[in-house]
Amino acid sequence: MSQGFSTRAIHAGYDPDPLTGAVNVPIYASSTFAQDGVGGLRGGFEYARTGNPTRRALEANIAALEGGTFGRAFASGMAATDALLRATLRPGDHLVIPNDAYGGTFRLIDKVFTQWGIDYSVAPITDADAVRAAITDKTKLVWIETPTNPLLNVGDIAVLAEIAHGAGAKLVVDNTFASPYLQQPLALGADVVLHSTTKYLGGHSDVVGGALVTDDEQLDVDIAFLQNGAGAVPGPFDGYLTMRGIKTLAVRMDRHSDNAERVVEFLSGHSKIEKVLYPGLPDHPGHDVAAKQMARYGGMVSVLVAGGLEAAQDFCARTEVFTLAESLGGIESLIEHPGAMTHASTAGSLLEVPDNLVRLSVGIEDIDDILGDLEKALH
Ligand SMILES: *Cc1c(COP(=O)(O)O)cnc(C)c1O
């Protein structure tokens, strides 16, 4: 029987150092490792691009949180995305991506991978039939995020895994928004889970990183080859910061969810807000699926602001507790305008976002300060 989530978050991947008893994983600031005779590696490490003990501890920890066998850490979520695409696709192959994918994911596929003979189709992940229809005989990957960034749409992981597998393709789930505390895609049939650890896993807006977790041994071999061969690895200090963040993931996610629920309640009744997008709302189209596959609904809330683009950007500029900034998942509340910021690269494409959309990453500050700030900014 495996340990509970919080126990794994705090302990998996590292036992106190037998030499010193250090309770926390040391920051192994060493690019190379001494050998006892040629090929005589002491701890299995030879060169830090290939492997570093701090990074190795982080990788084992994230794998344990996702209930997976193999974990690989990268220098950013996009580096993990890039490695996964190259590990799984060859010229002539095709993949399906969400019609509201993370802007950077879309940009990398649309601007770079198409140049190397990779073709893609977009489909709403909320609609299993549309995803099935987008699959061709060349499809090797079905790539989803759930909930999606920034529209918070929900895809049914178990159903989409079945559809992908039926076509001989793998299902990738970008689990950045939910975090493994709220959703564990491998248990639902996904082949590989991707994280921008920059967000909830790191959790303190002080480090950029990415990770891939899979149970598929051959896929892990291919990912590890690119991790070493192309070298987009995180440094040991990044690995340490990410592990430090992960230790409190469970308590943070509960507080993020508590605060987001209060924000949703407040904004839902507000005259300056046209619509609140949150999977926890009973009238959200993905609510039933989210209730089935998520423990709670998380800290991300998006809204359509009444009055269009200008009113939306004005709202973003007037908050004080919410910092106007890109990114998400940290302890501090952030607000942003996806159309002009994180998702500007989707303008004019099928993935373009509404111009009155505002995305909130609800932090873990005192709820009265969060609500007071929103009230003032919408006045
Ligand atoms: C931020 C983000 C990424 C990219 O990760 P980086 O760490 O910024 O490279 C990928 N997917 C989602 C859903 C994200 O929010």
pLDDT tens, residue by residue, 145-200? 999 989 999 999 999 999 999 999 999 999 999 999 999 999 999 999 999 999 99
pLDDT in tens, 220-243: 999 999 999 999 999 999 999 999
What's the pTM value of the predicted model, to 2 decimals? 0.97
Residues known to be catalytic: 49, 102, 174, 199
How far is ligand 1, taken at its centre, from the CA of residue 77, in Å? 5
pLDDT at 7: 98
**348, β-bridge pairs:** none
Residues 364 and 245 sit within 8 Å (Cβ to Cβ): no
Domains contained in the chain, CATH given:
3-242 (3.40.640.10), 249-376 (3.90.1150.10)
Which tokens in the block code for residue 111?
A: 């601007």
At 217 the pLDDT is 98
Q: Which atom of ligand 1 is nearest to the CA of 81?
A: 10
Element housing 171 (H / E): strand 170-174
Pocket test for ligand 1, best of 84, 100, 102, 195 (most atoms within 8 A of CB): 102
Give the CA dihedral 360, 174, 94, 82, nearest 10 degrees. Answer: 100
What angle in degrees, to the nearest 10, is found between the helix axes of 367-377 and 308-318?
140
CA of 103 to the centre of ligand 1 (A): 9
